[in-house]
Amino acid sequence: EQLAIRTTYTGSLLSVQALDFPPIAIVPYGDDRVLLIGNGASGGRVQERNIVTGLAVEVTAFPGQAISRVAYDDAADLWLVLPTQIVRIDMAASLVAPFSATTATDLAHDAADGLVWIASGSDAIALDQTSGATLGTISFPLAVDRVLPFFNR
């Protein structure tokens, strides 16, 4: 796996960097960094990568647990779906904490109202983005596989 970095102005290639693991998400983080989220041989990983120097710093790892879904906001808060829980990573405070004990098939951050929506069984569940408290549930007759907030309200 490789990470190719191009400029937005000209589209010219700045660098190509080898990756330690295949990412399931690449999240912009500041002007010269990205967060790589994925799964390595030993489990889920979150890595901060400088796109200029290639320097990589491990933010956190989840040994024996694969990350299946990722949501994030512009403040660099991340929410990750693990097999038995959802965790929240607050990059500003360098804090990794359990967010919800609910098992989920998907999640998304709704920038319009600040809620984190998760798909769990046949429910779409709205959670407070900071505490993880359940604020509401919408039930459907079939299983909910994906959550997609509308950003153009």
pLDDT for 9-33, tens place per residue?
788 888 888 898 999 999 988 888 9
Q: What is the pLDDT of residue 117?
A: 93
Q: Name the one residue in this structure whose structure tokens are 């319009």.
A: 112
Provide the pLDDT for residue 132: 86
Token pair listed for 20? 């330690």
Instruction: Report residue 141's pLDDT band, with 50, 70 and 90 as the boundaries.
Output: very high
Q: For position 152, what pLDDT does the model report?
A: 54
Using the 8-state DSSP alphabet, how is residue 105 labeled?
A: S
For the residues 94-105, what does the mean pLDDT come to?
A: 87
Residue type, 153: R
**What was the pLDDT predicted at 64?**
96
pLDDT score of 7 more than 80: no
In three state form, how does the secondary structure of 14-83 look? EEEEECCCCEEEEEECCCCEEEEEEEECCEEEEEEEECCCCCEEEEEEEECCCCCEEEECCCCEEEEECC
pLDDT at residue 122 is higher than 60:
yes
Per-residue model confidence (pLDDT) at position 151: 60
Rank 48-52, 73-77, 135-139 by mean pLDDT and report only the highest.
Answer: 135-139
Distance, in Å, from the CA atom of 61 to the CA atom of 63, rounded to the nearest integer, reads 6
pLDDT at 8 (0 to 100):
76
Mean pLDDT of 38-46: 95
pLDDT at 153 over 70: no
- As given in the structure block, the two tokens for residue 111 are 């920038």
Mean pLDDT to the nearest integer, 96-125: 90
d(CA 102, CA 25): 22
104 or 5, which is more confident? 104
CB 71 within 8 A of CB 116: yes
